[in-house]
Amino acid sequence: MIYAAPLKMNKLDSAITKVLGKAKYFGIYDDSTNEIKVIENQDPSGPAFFNQLKAENVDIILTPHAGPGAVNGSMKFGIKLYYCGDERKLLLEAVKEYQEGKCPEINAQNFEQYH
């Protein structure tokens, strides 16, 4: 499984940011190889980042915020969105919480509570 989360800085130990499409960076973690990397968001103006994440084979985005554009993009590109909470955390912490079943899915029926 390959996970992504919007990051504040271009650092492996950067905290997840509350913005999604406008994030400057994304952390990407592949649990099959245990590799983590940070990529720059090539178009921080909205849901166009899904093209980049799809090219990285991302399956799941862990985020504290998602609006209707993100929900539409996730459906279009087949990348699921999950709420990772509002408190400060790192990508690997959010992945662990997801794997423990602590992150609810964000979808068209419930996104307003995460917007």
CATH number at residue 65: 3.30.420.130
- At 1-46, the pLDDT tens digits run 999 999 999 999 999 999 998 999 999 999 999 999 999 999 887 7
pTM equals: 0.96
Of 61, 21, 69, 27, the C-alpha closest to 45 is 21
pLDDT at position 64 is 96
Residue 18's domain spans which residues? Answer: 2-114
The domain total for the chain is: 1
Phi, psi of 27 (to 5 degrees): -90, 140
Sequence-distant (≥ 6) Cβ neighbours of residue 35 within 8 angstroms: 29
